[in-house]
Amino acid sequence: MHANMEWTRKDLLGIEDLAKEEIDGILDTAEGFREVSARSVKKVPALRGKVIVNLFFEASTRTRISFELAGTRLSADVINFAGATSSASKGETLSDTARNIEAMGVDILVLRHPCSGAAYQLSKAVTASVVNAGDGTHEHPTQGLLDIYTIRRALGRIEGLKVAIVGDVSHSRVARSNIWGLQKLGAEVYAVGPPTLVPRGLAKMGVKVSHHLDEILPEIDVFNMLRIQAERQDQGLFPTIREYSRLFGLNRQRMKRVKPTALVLHPGPINRGVEITPDVADGPQSLILNQVTNGLAIRMAVLYLVGTRATNPGAREGGVA
Ligand code: CP
């Protein structure tokens, strides 16, 4: 763990709340856990005896499997809960559902929910730790952390880098978590997209706003391409998917104009041929699958830190063994 950081938080609700030292501390802790996944026995006893419940009220592939594997590799007992088949479908509130689950002796609740603020609300209702796995359009902190960790591993630093977040920034919890985290670590953040998909207030936060991807291509170190949410197309936020792709898609022609060292990220799921072409997504500058690998280490670090917080700080020394 980072030498200057002692983790005391019960929950991880967003990156907005975190100090630079806490972000560095999570990334450094992840570095220790990354090596565990390369072992033949991919398990450490760090959370043995703890119980984690993954509460997912929205579809997920990467985040749900990643949290499940992370808990398992830390030797916790992990239960997966799908909102659609639970008593929530009979009208039970989120807080009541969570309190009932907590009454069975749960230590950590991992929540994905369509409502912004759901993780915060839950954290007030339970004494168990709450980890936000994506709440509405608010934050997706472990995705932001894994994106930043992936950049740091590839380029050795965050400070001074120019990172462009391209696409539907307005509706993206991934964008919000990235902006908070990257700025706290000293990156210069660009939000790029059509005016209907980039919030006006971002410039006041120090984010550089551009509506012309072609103008900034040569100066950017990292492109984080957001999923274009086709389900929003009928809201008239951009003319057609084809038009969007022509103006904001990362393709072979555009890659000829970027720095040779520029990197490409995407949180997934990808719309191939819309925000990114297959040759770029699978090309040498893409770190998309590295993000998924690094996400496991980040989630192990987050579960470990909240699961062993201040109540037993000394236990952390045996975390990666
Ligand atoms: N990036 C991300 O959150 O993917 P999932 O929706 O598959 O979890």
Note the pLDDT of residue 2.
54
How are beta strands 188-192 and 162-166 bridged, if at all?
Answer: parallel
| pLDDT over 90 at 316, yes or no | no
SS (H, E, C) 213-279: HHHHHHHCCEEEECCCCHHHHHHCCCCCHHHHHHHHCECHHHHCCCCCCCEEECCCCCCECCCECHH
Q: Are 169 and 207 in contact (CB under 8 A)?
A: no
Catalytic residue among 29, 34, 50, 63: 63
Q: Which of 50, 113, 138, 140 is catalytic?
A: 140
222-250 pLDDT, tens per residue?
999 999 876 666 677 787 889 999 999 99
292 Cβ inside 6 Å of ligand 1? no
Contact indicator for 296, 37 with CB cutoff of 8 Å: yes
Q: Which atom of ligand 1 is nearest to the CA of 63?
A: 8
Position 239 scores a pLDDT of 79
Ligand 1 center to 147 CA (angstroms): 13
Confidence of residue 313 (pLDDT cuts 50, 70, 90): very low
Q: Would you say the CB of residue 261 lies under 6 angstroms from ligand 1?
A: no
Q: Summarize the confidence of residues 88-106 as an average pLDDT.
A: 89
43 is catalytic: no
Digit-coded pLDDT (tens) for 263-277: 999 999 999 999 999
Query: Distance from the CA of 109 to the center of ligand 1, in angstroms?
Result: 17
| 140 in catalytic set | yes
pLDDT value at position 195?
94
Q: Is 138 a catalytic residue?
A: no
pLDDT at 293: 97
- Give percent above pLDDT 90 in the chain: 84
User: Could you tell me the pLDDT band of residue 284, with boundaries at 50, 70 and 90?
Assistant: very high
151 CB burial (10 A radius; 0-12, 13-18, 19+): buried
Beta strands in the chain (DSSP E): 51-56, 77-82, 108-113, 129-135, 162-166, 188-192, 208-210, 222-225, 263-265
**Per-residue confidence band for 310, with pLDDT thresholds at 50, 70 and 90:** low
Whether pLDDT at 181 is above 80? yes
To the question of pTM greater than 0.85 for the whole model, the response is: yes
- Residue 90 annotated in active site: yes
From the CB of 132, is ligand 1 less than 6 Å away?
no
Residue nearest to atom 3 of ligand 1 (CA): 63
Q: Is the CB of 63 under 6 A from ligand 1?
A: yes
pLDDT tens profile 109-167? 999 999 999 999 999 999 999 999 999 999 999 999 999 999 999 999 999 999 999 99
Instruction: Check pLDDT > 60 for residue 18.
Output: yes
For residue 312, the model assigns a pLDDT of: 45
Q: What is the pLDDT of residues 28-51, one digit of tens each?
A: 999 999 999 889 999 999 999 999
> Of these residues, 85, 90, 124, 256, which one is catalytic?
90
Q: Please tell me the distance between residue 202's alpha carbon and the centre of ligand 1 in angstroms.
A: 24
